[in-house]
Amino acid sequence: MSEKEPVLTGVHFINGDIACAEGAIAAGCRFFAGYPITPATEISERMSERLPLINGVFIQMEDEIASMAAVLGAVWGGKKAMTATSGPGFSLMMENIGLGIMTETPCVIVDVQRGGPSTGLPTLVGQGDMMQARWGSHGTYEIIALCPNSPQEMFDLTIRAFNLSEKYRLPVLVMADEVVAHMMEKVVIPSADKINILSRRYSKLSPKEYLPYKPEKDLVPSMVNVGDGYNIHITGLTHNEKGYQVIDAQTQEQLVKRLSDKIRINRNDIIQVEEKYLDDAEIIICAYGISARISLRPIEMARKEGIKVGLLRLITAWPFPEEIIKQLADKTRVFIVPELNYGQMVREVERAACGKSKVILIPHMGGEPHNPDEILEAIKSARG
C-alpha cells in the first residue's frame, strides 16, 4: 500500500478500535503518539502497524502527558495527529488538552471509556468521563466531543473529528466506550475519493504580513508550519495576535471570548443528533454510545404496546444540543436518560428541559450495559 493509496477500502469485519484507527488514516492522520491502556490499546497497535507503511510516524511515549505534548508538536510541524487513551490516561492529558485549546492546535483525542474512578475496571465498560470531557481542563473554553455507537461510527466519526478540528482549530474528542470499541461488526470503508476530508487552512500571507492568531471572519486564524520561514510564537500564556504574551484583562477578554465564540456561533454546524419516533413521542429516551444502542429494542417493544416513545441520540455530546432538548420539552412529558455512570449528561437534559418535562435517570456504575428490560420497565413506569 502506497502513500497515495493509504485507505484500506472495502467491507471489513473489525472491532471499533481498529475502525477508529482506519478512520484516522483515511482522514489524513500521519502521526500518532500514545501509551498503551485498555480498552484503547488496539488503536495504538493498529496505528503502529499501519503508519510506517504510509510514510507516517508512530511513537510510544513514556506516558500520556508526553503523548499529548508530542501530538501538539507534530501538528505544528505540519502533520495531522491523534492519540488514544482511557480514563486514567485521559486525566493525565488534561493539561496539554488545555494547551491545545489555547494554542488552537487541531488534533484528535480518542477516549475509550471504562469503569472508574482510578484504575477501576480496565476491561469493562463505563461512561463516566463525559463531564470531564467538557470541564476537565481549567479555565473558560469550549470543546467538541463526538459519541459513536458502532464500529462503523468509530470510523465515520473519527473522520468527522479530524474535519472539525481542522475547521475550528482545536482538539476534538471522540468519546467512545469499551463495548463499542471491542464489538466486532461490518465496517464499510469507501474509496478515498468518496470520503470528505477537510485540509488544513494555511495562510497565503507573506511572513511579513502573517499574524498567527489574527482571526478570519469565522473567528478562526489560518495556520503555518514551524520551520517554513514565518516568525511565530506559540504559548499557553494569554497572547495577542502575534502570539506574544500579554498579561492583562483586556487581552484575556478578547482572546478567551474568541476561543469560545468560534464554537458557540457555529453550534448548528457542529451539533449532530439522531432522532427516531419523535413526531408523536410522549416519552423520549435521551442517550449516547452503547446506552443509546441498547435502548432501541425496548423502544420498539414499547411502541408495539402502544406507548409513544422515541429516541434522541446524542452523536455530539459537546456542544450539548440544548436547543433541541428545549424544543422537545414543550411537547413531551418525560425524558429517560440511561447512562453508565451515576448521572452526568442527565444534568444537562434537566437544565435544558427547564422543568417543562420530567427527567428520569437510569444509572449503572459501569461494568456492563443496561439490560433492555430495565429500560422497558422505566418506559412503562413513566407512562403512569
Structural domains of the chain, ranges and CATH numbers in brackets: 10-194 (3.40.50.970), 273-383 (3.40.50.920)
pLDDT digits (tens, 9 = 90+) for 235-289: 999 999 999 999 999 999 999 999 999 999 999 999 999 999 999 999 999 999 9
Distance (Å, rounded) from C-alpha 348 to C-alpha 344? 8
Distance (Å, rounded) from C-alpha 84 to C-alpha 88? 12
Distance (Å, rounded) from C-alpha 24 to C-alpha 82? 8
For residue 7, name the pLDDT band (cuts at 50, 70, 90): confident
The SS3 call for residue 41 is helix
The cell for 72 is 501538539
Amino acid at 158: T
Among 372, 230, 221, which residue's Cα sits nearest to residue 291?
A: 372
Tally of helices (H runs) and strands (E runs) in the chain: 13, 15
Relative to beta strand 29-34, strand 171-177 is unpaired
For residue 384, name the pLDDT band (cuts at 50, 70, 90): confident
Q: pLDDT value at position 4?
A: 52
Distance (Å, rounded) from C-alpha 301 to C-alpha 142? 38
Relative to beta strand 57-60, strand 80-85 is unpaired
Sign of CA dihedral 47, 148, 321, 111: negative
Start-to-end CA distance of the chain, whole Å, equals: 60
Cis peptide before 117 (omega within 30 of 0): yes
Mean pLDDT of the chain: 97
Among 108, 65, 66, 61, which residue's Cα sits nearest to residue 83?
A: 108
The cell for 82 is 491523534
How many angstroms separate the Cα of 363 from the Cα of each of 10, 171, 374? 38, 29, 11
Amino acid at 145: A
Distance (Å, rounded) from C-alpha 19 to C-alpha 169? 24
Question: CA Rg, the chain, in Å?
Answer: 21
Q: What is the mean pLDDT of residues 345-372?
A: 98
| 3: pLDDT strictly greater than 70 | no
Residue pair 98/90 in contact by the 8 Å Cβ criterion: no
Q: H or E stretch including 118?
A: none
The cell for 363 is 444509572
Q: What is the mean pLDDT of residues 54-76?
A: 98
